[in-house]
């Protein structure tokens, strides 16, 4: 039962109609969806749609809904539905019943026209979050909307993906609170750009928050949201054709856990901690998120007590539960363990069903998730849902209208909380207990004598941070005029991890022609203490990087593969506004093969864990085995861009089960490769996808590096933004000259040269030289940090300026003809403290320590760093064929501290200082 991601185009819609007509229908539907979801928190401003929303009546059209969907909906609608502006959570018992009824009303509409009109009615009358969820689930499940893409969820509901300070800035910009932007208000269109930090930037109170760039990544959290649109826990698999949904649930979460574990190792953190329900929960969480209605997300303090007698945070459920969550979660866990140990589960009629069967793991997973296929929900409940509520630490609501769900109680925010991975570890340990009772794999289960993998070649693996932009205007309130003209736009700029595209080769010898499956896994080679790990020890920590089918010829074969070809992963979704402009500016019949975002895969940019300057060690496990087609029904799977089974092997094979001995994995048709992942600070060599005829065919190039690659557009946008920001820096530079802040490092002519470097390869920050002036101004004296370099020529300009501006009698005089800020001035004023330190690094002692020949290299300059670290940097660049950036790569002067590149880029994504804007006529 092999895993694959099936990417569908518009061919499904075109099966029964001519191509031109199918394209026209598809284009119209795509326009409808994006128009319906535009400014979803605002009223419907589209005149035609607003008229339909106000006049259409589902009750008058009850006959157009199959399977009694309207009557089921009306029974719930008669009671009070969730109101507009209230918070929706799919894990609330009342909310999920409303969402399910609305989904079925959408799904069972007999025609697309009925579905569209019903959607407009619901968009106008029902809660925004409730509508968005049910409508999205209907889009991906209705047969007549297959291939229709959804906008990026982080642009529709940005409050769930970007910190409160970002949304606050967006509100201020919208309200015109910034004087700098008032002059642009008369323009036809104004675009603002906000530089977004991660939560670790503002409140870093837990070691886990050093990983906030990964935990809070919009792409990873969006992927989890999309996945659960295809596999809602409340959806019946028989009614909606969900195959092996339990096994899929387990494998998805094991893969998320493994990927997070690899990222932790790159930071030297190590294992995800195990916790006990009876012991205070160690990991605190401060989400820095605010709901659209202004309510803050609940926080969890460190060492939170979860027991019933401490408090009522996260304890009591307000629907069908007279007990407390703490009791339920432990009771459900105990019953699951009893089922594993006894070997059977009890159904609603009290009958026993064995679980050590072919479908046993799927049954156990349904039981753990507590989904609609659970053999006995009343008895086993939903262990995962209860754990989410308890660990999330949300407050007890008065009723379902006034809930305050935690981050764990939304799919779009669950992965932000480190407790999510600790919860998943609990689940995986339960599954491990089950798998220990299954027969262990022996060599015969992995080995195929007619196949032999001789070698695996992998190009250098390099990660880096690059620019990412998201349009969050949909999360704001706009006027009808702004809606019509799209005259106001706010984009968020954020640094996200990415990696350089790489190629690899698998050398395989086959005794005959055959179709095979190739799988590539990445796992840790060492633990956080540097101890080497065996493959049998890391079965829950291996991440599936690629799998594909291949036709082998008899004899030697060289399988050439590019990382961009993997169907496990997806490119960044195109921004809502960019797609909206395209679909509204083109004819529906022209919408052919433009659907590049239909594949909601794990973000391609996070295929590799972050490396380090010296390289972080991992191991690749490559296995090749004969392809065997699955023998079960696949009805309905053609409609899901989802995880589906395409061969007879379990998901995650061969790491899905225990092995008899450590050497079982080392069969001739498998290969273990030690690799290192490097973290690179130079984006220029990584920012494009280059076509290589030996590795990529034209189709792959077009898909990942051609017309639909947003990088070219982003580069143009960044160039424009760069010019805007450079003008701002010029103004700030002039302000520095007009105040009492002496500069201690740059020549005036070199200031923007350094800015050019930092904008291209670094994150611009406040120049450290200003701290000297701040200390002098506020504390009355200068306290040298010991690492400043003074330039007579540059500071002479400052001295002359201050003499002219303030006079020699002011607090910043020119002393005895020595310009303020010069080396001579500080030498005389502060008794040689800093000048002696400066000169000490020009002595033979410095040369002897660092092996430098020139005594004229100022310590602390970018060049001195390149000299000091040149052997490391040049050796790395030479080894991996990267252009030598010795003088720029190792510039470590950032803020008020000296840092090496490794230190500086460890928290690089959290250093942003300025907001900017751009105007367009």
CA distance 680 to 500: 9
Residue 204 or residue 40, greater confidence: 40
| pLDDT-based confidence at residue 303 (cuts at 50, 70, 90) | very high
| pLDDT-based confidence at residue 404 (cuts at 50, 70, 90) | very high
For residue 535, give both structure tokens: 């493959």
3-state secondary structure of 562: strand
How does the average pLDDT of the chain come out, rounded? 75
What is the percentage of the chain residues whose pLDDT exceeds 70?
A: 64
Does the structure show a pLDDT above 50 at 34?
yes
Which residue in 399, 409, 390 sits closest to 291, CA to CA? 409
Q: Distance between the two ends of the chain, CA-based, in angstroms? A: 56
Q: What is the mean pLDDT of residues 320-348?
A: 87
Residue 486 or residue 689, greater confidence: 486
Does the structure show a pLDDT above 90 at 595?
no
In this structure, are strands 189-195 and 344-346 parallel, antiparallel, or unpaired? unpaired
**Contact criterion met (CB below 8 Å) for 144 and 13:** yes
For residue 265, give both structure tokens: 């190792």
CA distance 309 to 219: 39
Domains of the chain are: 38-149 (1.20.1370.10), 205-230+272-435 (1.10.1280.10), 447-471+485-709 (2.60.40.1520), 734-920 (no CATH)
pLDDT attached to residue 786: 32
**Sole residue written with tokens 């598809």:** 26
Does the structure show a pLDDT above 50 at 879?
no
pLDDT attached to residue 277: 94
According to DSSP, the residues that pair with 674 across neighbouring strands are: 619
Instruction: Give the pLDDT confidence of 122-169 residue by residue, as tens digits.
Output: 999 999 999 999 999 999 999 999 888 899 999 999 999 999 999 999
Q: Name 153's Cβ contacts closer than 8 Å, sequence gap at least 6.
A: 136, 160, 161, 222, 225, 226, 412
pLDDT attached to residue 752: 39
**Sole residue written with tokens 């760093």:** 865
CA distance 48 to 488: 22
pLDDT attached to residue 871: 42
Q: Describe the crossing of helices 383-392 and 325-342 by its angle, rounded to 10 degrees.
A: 150
Does the structure show a pLDDT above 70 at 376?
yes
| DSSP state, residue 589 | G
Helical spans, DSSP H, in 807-890: 823-829, 833-840, 844-850, 862-868, 870-880, 886-889
Vertex 25: Cα angle to 23 and 31 (nearest 5): 100
**Contact criterion met (CB below 8 Å) for 176 and 167:** no
Which residue in 787, 765, 790 sits closest to 914, CA to CA? 765
CA distance 218 to 335: 36
Residue 337 or residue 750, greater confidence: 337
Instruction: Give the pLDDT confidence of 526-575 residue by residue, as tens digits.
Output: 999 999 999 999 999 999 999 999 999 999 999 999 999 988 899 898 88
Residue 794 or residue 289, greater confidence: 289
CA distance 221 to 910: 18
CA distance 686 to 460: 12
Does the structure show a pLDDT above 70 at 248?
yes
Q: What is the mean pLDDT of residues 106-126?
A: 97
**Contact criterion met (CB below 8 Å) for 740 and 803:** no
3-state secondary structure of 627: coil
Does the structure show a pLDDT above 80 at 71?
yes
3-state secondary structure of 521: strand
pLDDT attached to residue 209: 75
| DSSP state, residue 6 | P
Q: Which long-range contacts (CB under 8 A, 24 or more apart) does 637-640 make?
A: 637/6, 637/241, 637/243, 638/6, 638/8, 638/12, 639/8, 639/12, 639/141, 639/143, 639/146, 639/241, 640/6, 640/140, 640/141, 640/230
**Contact criterion met (CB below 8 Å) for 235 and 372:** yes
Does the structure show a pLDDT above 60 at 219?
yes
Q: What is the mean pLDDT of residues 625-645?
A: 60
Which residue in 171, 93, 678, 166 sits closest to 399, CA to CA? 93
Give the count of alpha carbons within 13 A of 276, CB side only. Answer: 2
Helical spans, DSSP H, in 343-460: 360-369, 377-380, 383-392, 419-435, 443-446
pLDDT attached to residue 437: 95
Handedness of CA 142, 144, 146, 151 (dihedral sign): negative
Q: What is the dihedral of CA 263, 269, 272, 277, to 10 degrees?
A: -140
pLDDT attached to residue 646: 64
Instruction: Encode burial over 887-902: b for 16+ CB neighbours within 10 A, e otherwise.
Output: bbbbbbbbebebeebe
Q: What is the mean pLDDT of residues 834-838?
A: 42
Q: Which of 184-193, 749-758, 817-826, 832-841 has the lowest mean pLDDT?
A: 749-758
Q: Which of 311-320, 668-677, 782-791 has the lowest mean pLDDT?
A: 782-791
Residue 633 or residue 169, greater confidence: 169
Q: What is the dihedral of CA 653, 657, 663, 665, to 10 degrees?
A: 10
**Contact criterion met (CB below 8 Å) for 36 and 119:** yes
Q: What is the mean pLDDT of residues 674-681?
A: 94
pLDDT attached to residue 20: 42
| pLDDT-based confidence at residue 413 (cuts at 50, 70, 90) | very high
**Contact criterion met (CB below 8 Å) for 601 and 222:** no
Which residue in 183, 179, 705, 151 sits closest to 471, CA to CA? 151
**Sole residue written with tokens 């949909």:** 474
Tell me which range, 304-318, 549-563, 902-916, is most confidently predicted by mean pLDDT: 549-563
Q: Which of 273-277, 406-410, 631-635, 917-921 has the lowest mean pLDDT?
A: 917-921
H or E, element range at 4 = strand 3-5
For residue 613, give both structure tokens: 């300057």
Q: Cβ atoms within 10 A of the Cβ of 750, count?
A: 13
Which regions of 143-298 does DSSP assign to beta strands (E)?
Answer: 189-195
Q: What is the mean pLDDT of residues 637-649?
A: 57
Residue 527 or residue 865, greater confidence: 527
Q: Name 482's Cβ contacts closer than 8 Å, sequence gap at least 6.
A: 488
Residue 611 or residue 12, greater confidence: 611
| pLDDT-based confidence at residue 310 (cuts at 50, 70, 90) | low
Which residue in 401, 380, 374, 235 sits closest to 319, CA to CA? 401
């Amino acid at each position: 039962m092999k895993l694959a991601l099936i990417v569908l185009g518009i061919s499904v819609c075109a099966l029964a109609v001519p191509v031109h007509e199918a394209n026209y229908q598809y284009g119209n539907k795509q326009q409808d969806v994006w128009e319906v979801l535009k400014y979803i928190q605002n009223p419907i401003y589209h005149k035609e749609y607003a008229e339909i929303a106000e006049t259409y009546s589902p009750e008058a059209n009850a006959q157009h809904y199959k399977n009694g969907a309207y009557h089921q909906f009306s029974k719930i609608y008669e009671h009070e539905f969730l109101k507009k502006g209230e918070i929706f959570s799919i894990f609330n018992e009342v909310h999920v019943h409303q969402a399910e009824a609305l989904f079925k009303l959408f799904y069972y509409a007999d025609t697309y026209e009925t579905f569209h009109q019903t959607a407009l009615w619901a968009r106008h009358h029902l809660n925004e979050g409730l509508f968005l969820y049910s409508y999205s689930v209907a889009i991906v499940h209705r047969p007549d909307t297959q291939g229709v893409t959804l906008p990026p969820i982080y642009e529709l509901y940005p409050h769930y993906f970007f910190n409160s300070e970002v949304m606050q800035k967006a509100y201020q910009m919208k309200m015109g609170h910034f004087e700098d932007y008032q002059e642009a208000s008369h323009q036809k269109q104004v675009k603002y750009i906000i530089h977004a930090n991660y939560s670790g930037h503002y409140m870093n109170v837990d070691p886990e928050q050093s990983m906030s760039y990964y935990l809070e990544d919009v792409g990873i959290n969006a992927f989890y949201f999309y996945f659960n649109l295809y596999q809602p826990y409340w959806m019946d698999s028989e009614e909606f054709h969900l195959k092996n949904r339990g096994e899929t649930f387990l494998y998805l979460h094991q893969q998320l856990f493994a990927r997070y574990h690899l990222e932790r190792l790159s930071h030297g953190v190590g294992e995800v901690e195990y916790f006990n329900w009876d012991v205070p929960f160690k990991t605190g969480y401060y989400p820095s998120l605010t709901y659209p209605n202004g309510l803050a997300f609940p926080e969890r303090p460190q060492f939170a007590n979860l027991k019933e007698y401490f408090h009522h945070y996260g304890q009591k459920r307000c629907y069908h539960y007279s007990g407390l969550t703490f009791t339920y979660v432990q009771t459900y866990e105990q019953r699951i363990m009893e089922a594993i140990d006894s070997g059977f589960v009890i159904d609603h009629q009290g009958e026993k069903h064995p679980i050590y069967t072919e479908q046993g793991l799927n049954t156990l997973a349904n039981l753990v998730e507590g989904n609609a296929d659970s053999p006995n929900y009343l008895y086993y409940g939903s262990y995962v849902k209860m754990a989410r509520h308890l660990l999330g630490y949300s407050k007890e609501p008065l009723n379902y209208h006034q809930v305050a769900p935690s981050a764990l109680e939304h799919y779009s925010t669950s992965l932000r909380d480190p407790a999510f991975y600790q919860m998943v570890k609990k689940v995986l340990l339960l599954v491990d207990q089950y798998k220990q009772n299954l027969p262990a794999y022996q060599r015969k289960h992995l080995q195929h004598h007619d196949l032999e993998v001789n070698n695996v070649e992998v190009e250098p693996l390099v990660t880096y941070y690059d620019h990412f932009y998201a349009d969050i205007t949909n999360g704001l309130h706009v006027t009808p005029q702004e809606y019509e003209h799209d005259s106001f736009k706010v984009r968020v700029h954020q640094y996200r991890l990415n990696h350089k595209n790489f190629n690899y080769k698998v050398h395989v010898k086959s005794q005959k022609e055959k179709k095979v499956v190739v799988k590539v896994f990445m796992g840790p080679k060492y633990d956080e203490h540097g101890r080497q790990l065996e493959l049998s020890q890391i079965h829950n920590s291996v991440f599936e990087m690629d799998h594909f089918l291949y036709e082998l010829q008899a004899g030697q074969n060289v399988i050439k593969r590019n990382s961009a070809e993997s169907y496990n992963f997806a490119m960044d979704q195109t921004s809502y506004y960019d797609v909206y402009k395209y679909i509204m500016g083109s004819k529906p019949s022209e919408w052919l093969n433009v659907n590049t975002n239909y594949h909601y895969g794990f973000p391609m940019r996070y295929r590799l864990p972050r490396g380090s300057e010296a390289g972080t060690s991992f191991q690749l496990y490559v296995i090749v085995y004969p392809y065997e087609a699955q023998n079960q029904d696949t009805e309905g799977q053609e409609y899901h861009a989802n995880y589906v089974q395409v061969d007879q092997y379990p998901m995650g094979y061969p790491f899905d089960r225990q092995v008899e001995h450590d050497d079982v994995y080392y069969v001739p048709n498998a290969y273990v490769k030690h690799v290192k992942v490097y973290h690179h600070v130079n984006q220029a060599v990584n920012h494009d996808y280059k076509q290589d005829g030996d590795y990529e065919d034209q189709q792959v190039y077009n898909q990942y590096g051609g017309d639909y690659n947003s990088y070219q557009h982003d580069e143009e946008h960044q160039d424009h933004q760069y010019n805007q920001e450079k003008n701002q820096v010029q103004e700030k530079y002039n302000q520095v000259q007009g105040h009492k802040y002496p500069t201690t490092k740059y020549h005036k002519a070199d200031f923007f040269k350094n800015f050019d470097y930092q904008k291209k390869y670094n994150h611009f920050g406040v120049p450290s030289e200003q701290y000297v002036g701040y200390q002098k101004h506020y504390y009355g004296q200068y306290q040298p940090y010991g690492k400043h370099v003074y330039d007579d020529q540059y500071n002479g300009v400052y001295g002359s300026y201050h003499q002219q501006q303030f006079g020699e009698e002011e607090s910043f005089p020119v002393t005895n003809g020595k310009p303020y800020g010069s080396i001579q001035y500080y030498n005389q004023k502060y008794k040689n403290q800093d000048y002696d330190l400066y000169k000490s690094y020009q002595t033979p002692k410095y040369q002897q320590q660092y092996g430098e020949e020139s005594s004229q290299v100022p310590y602390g300059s970018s060049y001195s760093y390149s000299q000091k670290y040149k052997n490391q940097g040049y050796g790395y660049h030479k080894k991996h064929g990267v252009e030598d950036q010795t003088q720029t790569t190792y510039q470590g002067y950032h803020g008020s501290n000296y840092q090496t590149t490794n230190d500086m880029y460890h928290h690089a994504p959290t250093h942003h200082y300025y907001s900017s804007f751009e105007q367009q006529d």
